[in-house]
Amino acid sequence: MEKYVINGGNKLYGSVKIQSAKNSVLPILAAAVLTDGEVCIKDVPDITDVGNMVRILTRLGCKAAFEGRDLIIDSSTADCFEIPGGLAHELRSSVFLLGSLISRFRMAKIAFPGGCDIGLRPVDLHLTGLKRLGVEIEEQNGYILCSCPKLKGNEIMLDCPSVGATENIMLAAVKAEGITVIKNAAREPEIEDLQKFLNAIGARVSGAGSGTVRVEGVKTLNGAVFSPIPDRIEAGTFLVAAAMCGGEVELDGVIAENISSLLHKLRENGCNIGIKNDKIYLESSKRLTAVKSIETQPYPGFPTDLQAQITALNSICKGQSIITENLFETRFKYVPELRKMGADITVVNRSAFVRGVEGFKGATVVAHDLRGGAALVLAALAADGRSEVLDISHIDRGYGAFDAKLRKLGGDITRVAV
């Protein structure tokens, strides 16, 4: 067990390199199971979710080894279609392997996946889509059992644009007979990145980034070298950190278009923002003004994974905000922790009513999930006095060297064993 000890009040200055996207890398690692060729994923982030996925791949019989931050995967030795409960419960993204395992082995067995406790994230959409491809599914004693002698392409209409279901169906359909068309597909940039990887290994996928994805089944797939897109959520987190603490921060290696909804809100707050090629510059030199209303939505709307961070920011802005969470029903679990630091927030159903205070006071708080935990770190950096953030294992799931990057910018943050 470890915690962060943070002495707040320092402004942030300097440049930070943004890691590859967690939410791209994980489904790409799942997709590596589809091919017998060697796959090299460049600049893989040093986060526990990646470590857990690599352990799962090894358990399936794949060979996986790091060369620096590049991950080399050889799935030619894969000989197992079961993901044990202990590993699945550690990693929500293990569910992506359903599509890959079915495609490769025509069989899959997986325990119901775990991850952050931010509300119900049912896999019903995944399973309904897989059934449309001919997969037979049973649920027994906490496991999902899938079998399919022959995968056959089909038209699949998703009830809602689920990222995970879209990606899982893509993975299952890659080697299916015929053509699969996914309608009302999620449009997140990470789905487009998965399409690019699949096509790099020989698949025929088109339409990712739009509401309709088309997959033409192929018989064989090859190896490839692939560089995932930068992590838009990490980028957004550092931008909000600079907005809260004040100072001047430049992000290096980022796609501004992918976080345009956040940039729009930060400009409303009063931040000065500049964009040039793959760099974003943010300057914050005064107390900012609250954004009146923010609602999380599927991409290209405001991302749920930045909701906690933007709420923390608006908690110390002039004025009032209403933050509405439309995707996950219990994603305000960090709010009582922010209140310990002096935030004035009332949660009613799916909305947080935020009344801006002059500033945060240092306190001991607990990270209950990945993004809420990151928001508490930002609040502590902006606070007056000393704070401790406990249970930082949640934060390690998605942010590599978080404390080191913040220290580079001038933050007083130390990782301490408990």
In terms of pTM, does the model score above 0.75?
Answer: yes
Edge-to-edge strand list for the sheet holding 12-17: 12-17, 247-252, 279-284, 272-276
Q: What is the DSSP letter of 115?
A: -
Cβ atoms 151, 172 nearer than 8 A:
yes
The active-site residue, picked from 116, 148, 245, 271, is 116
Number of domains in the chain: 2
What pLDDT is stored for residue 141 in this prediction? 81
Residue 77 CA to residue 74 CA, distance in Å, equals 7
* Domain identity same for 331 and 408: yes
Nearest to 106 by CA among 141, 128, 133: 133
* Residues 55 and 195 grouped into a single domain: yes
Active site residue 80: no
Distance of CA 298 to the CA centre of its chain: 13
Tens of pLDDT, residue by residue over 228-284, are 999 999 999 999 999 999 999 999 999 999 999 999 999 999 999 999 999 999 999
Question: Are both 128 and 178 inside the same structural domain?
Answer: yes
User: CB of 103 within 8 A of CB of 175?
Assistant: yes
**Residue-wise pLDDT tens digits, 333-362:** 999 999 999 999 999 999 999 999 999 999
The position carrying tokens 């939505």 is: 297
Give the pLDDT of residue 115.
Answer: 43
Q: Do residues 107 and 12 share a domain?
A: no
Domain boundary among 179, 199, 226: 226
Based on the fold, state whether residues 214 and 236 are members of the same structural domain.
Answer: no
Q: Are residues 217 and 274 in the same domain?
A: no
Q: Does residue 202 sit in the same domain as residue 304?
A: no
How far is residue 333's CA from residue 394's CA, in Å, rounded to a whole number? 13
Domain boundary, last residue among 226, 253, 279: 226
For residue 209, what are the domain limits?
22-226
Distance CA 376, CA 359 (A): 14
- Statement: residue 119 has pLDDT above 50: no
pLDDT of 92 strictly over 80: no
Q: Are 389 and 418 in contact (CB under 8 A)?
A: no
Q: Is the model's pLDDT at 122 over the cut of 70?
A: no
Asked if residue 250 and residue 220 are part of one domain, the reply reads no
Tens digit of each residue's pLDDT (9 = 90 or more) over 362-391 = 999 999 999 999 999 999 999 999 999 999
Same domain, 219 and 88: yes
What values do phi and psi take at 359, rounded to 5? Answer: 175, 170
Structure tokens, 337: 């922790």
Percent of residues, the chain, with pLDDT higher than 90: 88
Tokens of 141: 């004693």
The last residue of a domain, from among 226, 247, 262 = 226
The enclosing domain of 65 has a CATH number of 3.65.10.10
Same domain, 45 and 7: no
Measured CA to CA in angstroms, residue 374 lies from 236, 241, 377, 393 at distances of: 11, 10, 5, 11
Pairing of strands 70-74, 38-41: antiparallel
207 and 297 both lie in a single domain: no
Higher pLDDT among residues 378 and 138, named by residue: 378
Is-contact 178 217, C-beta < 8 A?
yes
Residues 223-237 pLDDT 10s: 999 999 999 999 999
What's the token pair of residue 70?
A: 């590049």
Which among 407, 412, 408, 414 is positioned nearest to 392, based on CA atoms? 414
Q: Are residue 221 and residue 242 in the same domain, yes or no?
A: no
